[in-house]
Amino acid sequence: MKIMCLNAWGGKLYEKLLPYVKASDPDVLCLQEVIHSPASEKDWLTYRDGDHVLAQRANFFRDVSHALPDHVAIFCPAAQGVLWDEDQPVPSQWGLATFVRRSIPIIAQVQGFVHKGFSPVGYGDHPRSHNAHGVRVYDYAAERAVSITHMHGLRDLNGKMDTPERAEQARRLLNFSRQVSEPGDVVVVCGDFNVEPGSETLALLADAGFKELVTGRGIESTRSTQYKKPGRFADYMLVNCEEAVQSFDVIHDPEVSDHCPLVLRL
Per-residue confidence (pLDDT) for residue 52, from 0 to 100: 85
Judge whether residue 54 has pLDDT over 90: no
List, in order, residues 6 or more apart from 249 with CB less than 8 Å away.
Answer: 262, 263
Is it true that the peptide bond before 254 is cis, omega within 30 degrees of 0?
Answer: yes
- Contact yes or no for 150/191 (Cβ under 8 A): yes
Q: Please give the full DSSP string across 27-80, using - where no structure is assigned.
A: SEEEEEEEEE-TT---SEEEEEETTEEEEEETTHHHHHHHH-TTEEEEEEEEEE
Pairing of strands 186-192, 144-152: parallel
pLDDT in tens, 94-150: 999 999 999 999 999 999 999 999 999 999 888 999 999 999 999 999 999 999 999
List, in order, residues 6 or more apart from 38 with CB less than 8 Å away.
Answer: 59, 93
Type of residue numbered 219: I
Kindly report the backbone phi and psi dihedral angles of residue 243, in degrees, each rounded to the nearest multiple of 5, phi listed first: -65, -20
For CA atoms 198, 199, 200, 203, give the dihedral sign: negative
pLDDT in tens, 6-27: 999 999 999 999 999 999 999 9
Per-residue confidence (pLDDT) for residue 229, from 0 to 100: 85
DSSP 8-state assignment for residue 187: E
Q: Which among 102, 74, 94, 113 has a CA at the least distance from the CA of 9?
A: 94
Q: Which among 172, 18, 152 has a CA at the least distance from the CA of 79?
A: 152
Alpha-carbon distance of 41 to 39, in angstroms, equals: 7
